[in-house]
């Protein structure tokens, strides 16, 4: 899988929007961009994924740059429960394999 680069940590205030960036300059045309997050003392959980167009779901929005070399996960109104490590993962093809997690971004939410 192609490599992603994320900031080690970010801090935001409760009830404010949060924009988590991910750079993936070597992305290929068939790579999907997936985001997972891991809350303290829990297993990772799926957040959102996309290919080319921006995506929205009940948890977050995913904004994908036109050249697809970067993307941004948007939490519209952060709560304390959103404090977690967020992983941006590129997934190629439809074969079998496990996920390759990088170090992710540690999101800190201040009350």
Q: Does residue number 91 form part of the binding site for another protein (CB under 8 A)?
A: yes
Closest listed residue to residue 52, CA positions, set 39, 43, 65: 65
Burial class (CB in 10 A: 0-12, 13-18, 19+), 7: middle
> How far, in Å, CA of 30 to CA of 47, rounded?
20
With contacts defined by CB under 8 A, name the span among 9-17, 65-73, 76-84, 94-102 that binds another protein: 94-102
Q: How far is the CB of 106 from another protein (least distance, A)?
A: 12
d(CA 33, CA 88): 7
Rounded CA separation 90/22 (Å):
10
| Residue ranges in 57-86 that form contacts with another protein under rule CB under 8 A | none
The stretch near another protein (CB under 8 A) out of 4-12, 59-67, 74-82, 97-105 is: 97-105
Residue 66 or 96: the one with the smaller Cβ distance to another protein is 96
Q: Mark residues 4-43: x for contact with another protein by CB under 8 A, - for none.
A: ----------------------------x-----x---xx
């Amino acid at each position: 899988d192609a490599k992603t680069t994320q900031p080690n940590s970010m801090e935001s205030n409760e009830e404010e929007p949060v924009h988590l960036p991910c750079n993936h300059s070597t992305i290929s045309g068939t790579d999907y961009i997936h985001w997972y997050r891991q809350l303290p003392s829990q297993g990772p959980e799926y957040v959102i994924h996309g290919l080319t167009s921006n995506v929205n779901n009940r948890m977050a929005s995913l904004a994908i740059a036109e050249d697809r070399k970067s993307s941004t996960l948007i939490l519209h109104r952060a709560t304390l429960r959103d404090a977690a490590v967020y992983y941006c993962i590129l997934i190629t093809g439809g074969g079998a394999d496990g996920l390759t997690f990088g170090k992710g971004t540690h999101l800190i939410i201040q009350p």
